[in-house]
Amino acid sequence: MYNKIDKLEFTEEDAMKYCENCEKKFDTEEQKCPICGANLIEEKDSEYDDTTAETVATMTTLGIL
């Protein structure tokens, strides 16, 4: 039996925010860093962005790796 797994969709609540000044991630809805007050940049959770396994599988199939 095959179970279909739907790809997760990201919303603003799913995104971590990053402070380039402090080099720290925050799980907050605020626009400013709670430590230094710099603007926070939104980034998606890297767990869902990681394509390393797919890349290795493709390279192995093609005989590159």
Residue-wise pLDDT tens for the chain (65 aa)?
444 444 444 444 457 899 999 999 998 889 999 999 999 998 765 555 567 888 888 888 888 86
pLDDT at 6: 44
**40 falls within a domain:** yes
CA 18 to chain centre: 11
Helix ranges (H only) for the chain are: 46-49, 52-61
Edge-to-edge strands, sheet with 24-26: 24-26, 16-19, 41-43
Q: How many domains does the chain have?
A: 1
**36 falls within a domain:** yes
**55 falls within a domain:** yes
**2 falls within a domain:** no
**4 falls within a domain:** no
Alpha carbon distance 59, 62 (integer Å) = 5
Per the structure, the complete domain to which residue 41 belongs is given by: 12-61
**3 falls within a domain:** no
pLDDT at 31: 93
The Cα-based distances of 34 to 7, 16, 20 in angstroms read 32, 14, 13
